[in-house]
Amino acid sequence: MNGPRSIVIDCDPGLDDAVAIALAAASPCLAVDLVTTVEGNAPLAMVTANACSVVAALDMPAAVHQGHRALRPDPSRLSTAIWGGDGSLELAPGAAPAVADAVSALAGWLDARPKRQRIIVAIGPLSNLARLLAERPGLAQESAELVIMGGAIGRGNATPEAELNIWVDPEAAASVLASSVPATIVPLDITRKLIAGPGFTATLAASGGKPAELVASLMPKAGIDSHPAAIHDACAVGFLLWPELFRLERGALRVVTGPGPAEGRTLWIPGENGPHRLVVGLDQDLFLGRMAERLAAAKET
CA of residue 141 relative to chain centroid, distance: 23
Q: What count of residues does the chain have? A: 301
**DSSP assignment letter at 62:** P
Q: Do 25 and 128 contact (CB within 8 A), yes or no?
A: no
What is the gyration radius of the CA atoms in the chain, in angstroms? 17
Active site residue 232: yes
**Bridge pairing between strands 276-282 and 246-255:** antiparallel
Helix or strand holding residue 247 (H, E): strand 246-255
Q: From the candidates 65, 227, 232, 276, which is the catalytic residue?
A: 232
Q: Do 37 and 48 contact (CB within 8 A), yes or no?
A: yes
- C-alpha 129/C-alpha 11 separation (Å) is 11
Q: Do 7 and 106 contact (CB within 8 A), yes or no?
A: no
**DSSP assignment letter at 35:** E
127-164: b or e for each residue (b if 16 or more CB lie within 10 Å)?
Answer: bbbbbbbeebeebbeeebbbbbbbbbbeebbbbebbbb
- C-alpha 140/C-alpha 143 separation (Å) is 6
Residues tagged active-site: 232
